Amino acid sequence: MRHIISLLMENEAGALSRVAGLFSSRGYNIESLTVAATEDATLSRMTLVTAGSDDVVEQITKQLNKLIEVVKVVDLSDGDHIERELMLIKVRAVSKDREEIKRMADIFRGRIIDVTDKSYTIELTGTGSKLDAFLGAIERSAILETVRTGASGIGRGERILKV
Amino acid sequence: MSTELSGAEITVRCLQKEGVDYLFGYPGGAVLYIYDELFKQDKVKHVLVRHEQAAVHAADGYARSSNKVGVALVTSGPGVTNAVTGIATAYMDSIPLVIISGQVPTHAIGLDAFQEVDTVGITRPCVKHNFLVKDIAELATTIKKAFYIASTGRPGPVLVDIPKDVSQQKTAFVYPESVSMRSYNPVTKGHSGQIKKAVQLILGAKRPMIYTGGGIILSDAASRLTDLVRMLGFPCTNTLMGLGGYPATDKQFVGMLGMHGTYEANMAMQHCDVLVAIGARFDDRVIGNPKHFFNQDRKIVHIDIDPSSISKRVKVDVPIVGSVPDVLDELIKLLKVSREKPDQTAIDAWWTQIDLWRARDCLKYDRASPIIKPQMVIESLYEATRGNAFITSDVGQHQMWAAQFYKFDMPRRWINSGGLGTMGFGLPAAMGVQFANPKGAVACVTGEASIQMCIQELSTCKQYNLPLKIVNLNNRYMGMVRQWQEYFHGNRYAESYMDALPDFVKLAESYGHVGMKIEQPGDVEGALKEAFKLKDRLVFMDFITDQTENVFPMVPGGKGLSEMILV
C-alpha cells in the first residue's frame, strides 16, 4: 500500500543522506522524496512517499525515528491529509495547437509561465493523479520536457506536525 | 578571558573528562596534532595496535567486559577503512564505542586529497551516529554528544571525524556538563499497562520459557533476570550474545538456543505457550525459519529498548519498549504482590518434559577418542579456570564449542562477535579485555584460520605484556565452512582447508611469547594448567584437534528450530 510519511529533522549537512541511506540499505521502496527548511531554519521538513505492507511501513517509521537527527515522524496516510505536487511542463505550441494547449491548461487550472513562439511552459499543481491526467490529455509528441517535485503533504485541520 | 586550546588539546581534554583511561589507536598524518597532545599528558594511556581493525576490536573488548565506553583513534583514509570492520562488529552487537578519526583539512575535503575518504559516508550504515566537525567551536559539544549517544538507549558506536586544521585551530575550552538533544530521547520506563498485561500472561502460563539476549548483558540486568527466573521457577535460555545473563550452572538454565543451541532449549522454545523475550531480537540464527516457529501457537512478551527490534521478524502479543532493568524491576514488583501464582502442576509437568529432552544429551561426544576433541579442550579450559576466566572467541566451530561447553555464570565474561561474525575479533578483543581487567584471566578461544586474521597483534601483546592465553583449536580447516560443505555441498571442500600453516609455536616464540603444541588428549589438561601458571606470559597453545568433528545440534539454514540435526 502507498504511504505518505512526513518528518521533521535537524537541518544539518548529511541528514538527507541518512534517510536516503536507510531506505537503500534496508531495501525499502521510495517513490518520491521532497525536503526543504521550515520557517524554523534549524529544522527541515521531508515528505516521503513509499509503498509496502503494514509491517514494512511500521519498520520504516521506527527506523526513521531511530535516526539521531530525526525529530518527529508521522504517517500522514493514517488520517485525513492533503498532498500536492508541482509539475513544470514544456510543450511544443505552434499554430492551432497554441489555443488548444492554453485551453487544456485552463481546464486543469495550470498557468503558463513562459512563452516562446514555439512553446509554452506550464506550471501545474495537484495530486499526482491529476498531474498524470494532464499528461494523458496532452498529445504525447507535444511534450518537450517535464519536471515533477514529488508529493508534499500536510495533515488536515488540527493534525499538526511541529516540535 | 580563558586561555585558548587547540582542537587536538580539546579532544584529549574531553577524553580525560569522560574518564577514558585507555585509548586504542594508530597514528597517521591527519591525527598528528592529537598524538602530540596525547604525548604531553599521562591520564589517557594510548595503546598502539598493529592494525586499525584491532584498535576498534580492542576498544570493543574493553567496553564489553567493563560496561564503559571503548575509545579508538585512527587516522584518515586507510586508517578509517581498516577500522570499518571493527565498527560494523560493534554496531551489530550494540557496543558503546567512540571512534575518533582524523580527516584531511577542511579546505581539502572533496578534492581527492592524500589519504582522504568520505568517512562519514563510509561509516554511516554501521554506526549509531557520526559527526564531521567542521567548526572548532562545535568540537567539545560534539565529543560530549558522541559519548552520550554511544552509551544511552540501545548502545552503539559513534564516530567523530576531525579535520586536521580543526585539530590545529584554537578556541576556548568549555566541556558541557550534560547535553540534551530534542531529536534523541531514549525511553527508560516501560508502559505500565503493558507490563501488567505481561504479568497476566506469565501467571497464566503452563509451558513458559524465558529467552534473553545481549540486552541483559549490556544493561547490567543479569542479577535482576536471575531473581525473576528463580522467583518464577521457569526455564531460561540465553542467546549467543546473552550467555552469562543467567548462571549456566543453574538447573533452570536449559543452555543456549538457536542454530547450535541445545536440544532442550530449542524444543522448549518451539513448544512453549508463553515466551518472554528480554533484550533479544529473534535473529535468524536464533529462531530459524519464522514460519516454522509459528506452526506452534504461543503468546509472546517482548521487552526491548529499541522499538525497531520489536515486531521486526516476529509478531509479538505484548511489546514493552523500555530499559530492561527498569522493566524487570517493575515486573518483579508486580509479581511479588500478585495474589495469583503460576500453575505449579502445569509447570512441573513442563519440567518433566524438558528433562526428557535434556536426557537426549545433545552435547555428547566421543570422550575416549585417541585424537583431541575440541569440546574436550573447552571443558578442560573451564576446569583449569574454574569458570572464572574472560573468554573471547573468533568465529566458527570453536566459537560454538566455547559457547556450548564453557559454562558462563557471570555476565561480561563471554566476548564474541555474534551479529557480524568477524573472524579476527578474538585476539584484539582479548587485549581490550585484559586492559579493562588487569587482574583477570583472559583466554582467547580461536582456530588456525581466524587467528591469522589479526595475528600481528601478538606484537602489541608483547609491547604491553598482556598475559593472554590463546587456545587454538587447530583442525587445519575453516571448520564451520567445512561442516556446511559436508552437509549441504556434497563433501566438496572448496578452499576450506588451511594449507601452509605456520609453526605456531615458533611464531609465538618469535613474537617473544611462549608456544606449546599439544597433540595427545592426555596432554590437554596439563598444558592448560601449565599455561595458566605462567601468569605474566602470553601462552599460545596450539591444540591439534580432530579434523572431522562437527558442531551439534545444528538447525540447517531455512529449517525450523525443532528440526535439528543431532549427534
Cis, peptide link before residue B370, omega less than 30° from 0 = no
Instruction: In whole angstroms, give the CA distance from residue B136 to residue B156.
Output: 25
Contact partners, residue B544, CB within 8 Å, separation at least 6: B372, B474, B517, B518, B519
Please spell the DSSP secondary structure of B61-100, one letter per residue. Answer: HHHHHHSS-EEEEE-STHHHHHHHHHHHHHHHTT--EEEE
Instruction: In whole angstroms, give the CA distance from residue B463 to residue A73.
Output: 51
**Strands B170-172 and B157-163, bridge-based pairing:** unpaired
- Catalytic: which of B144, B164, B299, B373? B164
B39 phi/psi in degrees, rounded to 5: -60, -30
> Cβ of B306 and A18 within 8 Å?
no
Give yes or no on whether A2-78 and A82-152 have one common fold.
yes
Which residues of A are less than 8 Å from B121 in CB distance?
17
Using alpha carbons only, what angle is made at residue B20 by residues B19 and B21, rounded to the nearest 5 degrees?
110
Please spell the DSSP secondary structure of B261-279, one letter per residue. Answer: --HHHHHHHHH-SEEEEES
Question: What's the half-sphere exposure (Cβ side, CA atoms, 13 Å) at A162?
Answer: 5
DSSP E strand stretches across chain A: 2-10, 32-37, 43-51, 70-75, 81-92, 111-115, 119-126, 143-148, 152-155
C-alpha cell at B182: 530534542
Residue B24 pLDDT? 98
For an interface test with A, the pick among B128, B183, B308 (most A C-beta atoms closer than 10 Å) comes out as: B183
The CA distance from B288 to the nearest CA of chain A, in Å, is 20
Kindly state the DSSP code that residue B191 receives in the 8-state scheme: P
**Strands B442-447 and B469-474, bridge-based pairing:** parallel
B498 in catalytic set: no
Q: Confirm if B565 and B556 have CB atoms less than 8 A apart.
A: yes
B121 vs A: CB within 8 A? yes
> Cβ of B121 and A18 within 8 Å?
no
C-alpha cell at B559: 529449517
> Cβ of B125 and A71 within 8 Å?
no
The CA distance from A59 to the nearest CA of chain B, in Å, is 6
Beta bridge partners of B320: B303
Q: What residue segments make up the domains of chain A, in order of their start?
A: 2-78, 82-152
Instruction: In whole angstroms, give the CA distance from residue B47 to residue B58.
Output: 9
Residue B498 pLDDT? 85
Q: Which residue in chain A is spatially nearest to B308 when comparing CA positions? A: A62
C-alpha cell at B517: 603444541
End-to-end CA distance of chain B: 75
Number of H helices, E strands in chain A: 4, 9
> Cβ of B308 and A70 within 8 Å?
no
Of A17, A66, A70, the CB nearest to B308: A66
Q: Which ipTM did the prediction report? A: 0.92
On the question of pLDDT at A113 being above 90, the answer is yes
B114 in catalytic set: yes
On the question of pLDDT at A35 being above 70, the answer is yes
Kindly state the DSSP code that residue B181 receives in the 8-state scheme: B
Q: Collapsing DSSP states into helix, strand and coil, what is residue B530?
A: helix
The shares of helix, strand and coil residues in chain A, as percent rounded to the nearest 5, are 30, 40, 30
Instruction: In whole angstroms, give the CA distance from residue B107 to residue B168.
Output: 13
A96-107 average pLDDT score: 94
Of B125, B129, B307, the CB nearest to A68: B129
- Catalytic: which of B52, B330, B379, B549? B52
Residue B363 pLDDT? 98
Q: Confirm if B30 and B164 have CB atoms less than 8 A apart.
A: yes
B336 in catalytic set: no
A14 phi/psi in degrees, rounded to 5: 90, -10
**Strands B390-393 and B318-321, bridge-based pairing:** unpaired
Contact partners, residue B256, CB within 8 Å, separation at least 6: B237, B238, B239, B240, B243, B262, B265, B403, B404
Residue B298 pLDDT? 97
Instruction: In whole angstroms, give the CA distance from residue B403 to residue B398.
Output: 9
Can you say whether the dihedral through the CA atoms of B163, B167, B169, B172 is positive or negative? positive
Which residues of B are less than 8 Å from A14 in CB distance?
120, 124, 132
B438 vs A: CB within 8 A? no
Of B120, B183, B307, the CB nearest to A68: B183
CB environment B48-58: b (16+ within 10 A), e (fewer): ebbbbbbbbbb
Q: Confirm if B107 and B77 have CB atoms less than 8 A apart.
A: no
Cα B119 to Cα B85, B126, B422, B427, distances in angstroms: 13, 11, 21, 26
B52 in catalytic set: yes
Q: Which residue in chain B is spatially nearest to A9 when comparing CA positions? A: B183
Beta bridge partners of B274: B208, B299
The label of the residue with cell 574472560 reads B390
A residues 31-50 closer than 8 Å to B (CB): none
Instruction: In whole angstroms, give the CA distance from residue B532 to residue A129.
Output: 74
Angle between helices B524-533 and B374-384 (to 10 degrees): 40
Instruction: In whole angstroms, give the CA distance from residue B265 to residue B278.
Output: 16
Q: Confirm if B530 and B492 have CB atoms less than 8 A apart.
A: no
A9-14 average pLDDT score: 93
Among candidate residues B513, B541, B511, B398, the one with its CA nearest the CA of residue B50:
B511
Instruction: In whole angstroms, give the CA distance from residue B560 to residue B291.
Output: 8
A2-78 CATH choice from 3.30.2130.30, 3.40.350.10, 3.30.70.260, 3.30.10.20 = 3.30.70.260
Q: Which residue in chain B is spatially nearest to A163 when comparing CA positions? A: B182
What single letter denotes the amino acid at residue B407?
Answer: K
pLDDT (tens place) for every residue of chain B, 567 residues total: 568 999 999 999 999 999 999 999 999 999 999 999 999 999 999 999 999 999 999 999 999 999 999 999 999 999 999 999 999 999 999 999 999 999 999 999 999 999 999 999 999 999 999 999 999 999 999 999 999 999 999 999 999 999 999 999 999 999 999 999 999 999 889 999 999 999 999 999 999 999 999 999 999 999 999 999 999 999 999 999 999 999 999 999 999 999 999 999 999 999 999 999 999 999 999 999 999 999 999 999 999 999 999 989 999 999 999 999 999 999 999 999 999 999 999 999 999 999 999 999 999 999 999 999 999 999 999 999 999 999 999 999 999 999 999 999 999 999 999 999 999 999 999 999 999 999 999 999 999 999 999 999 999 999 999 999 999 999 999 999 999 999 999 999 999 998 899 999 999 999 999 999 999 999 999 999 999 999 999 999 999 999 999 999 999 989 999 999 998
Contact partners, residue A158, CB within 8 Å, separation at least 6: none
Kindly state the DSSP code that residue B31 receives in the 8-state scheme: G
B321 phi/psi in degrees, rounded to 5: -90, 120
The CA distance from A58 to the nearest CA of chain B, in Å, is 9
The CA distance from B269 to the nearest CA of chain A, in Å, is 24
A59 vs B: CB within 8 A? yes
Q: Confirm if B371 and B546 have CB atoms less than 8 A apart.
A: yes
Counting one residue from A and one from B, how many pairs have CB atoms under 8 Å apart?
A: 36
Residue A105 pLDDT? 97
> Cβ of B149 and A58 within 8 Å?
no
A54 vs B: CB within 8 A? no
> Cβ of B183 and A9 within 8 Å?
yes
Instruction: In whole angstroms, give the CA distance from residue A93 to residue B351.
Output: 83
Residue B1 pLDDT? 52
Q: Which residue in chain A is spatially nearest to B185 when comparing CA positions? A: A68
Kindly state the DSSP code that residue A113 receives in the 8-state scheme: E
C-alpha cell at B472: 587454538
A27 vs B: CB within 8 A? no
Instruction: In whole angstroms, give the CA distance from residue B9 to residue B269.
Output: 53
C-alpha cell at B87: 565498527
The label of the residue with cell 515466551 reads B275
Using alpha carbons only, what angle is made at residue B402 by residues B400 and B408, rounded to the nearest 5 degrees?
120
By CB neighbour count within 10 A (0-12 exposed, 13-18 middle, 19+ buried), where does A135 fall?
middle
Instruction: In whole angstroms, give the CA distance from residue B232 to residue B338.
Output: 12
B299 in catalytic set: no
The CA distance from B421 to the nearest CA of chain A, in Å, is 19
Architecture of domain A82-152: 2-Layer Sandwich (3.30)
Q: Which residue in chain B is spatially nearest to A64 when comparing CA positions? A: B308
Hey, how many other C-beta atoms are within 10 angstroms of the C-beta on B347? Answer: 19
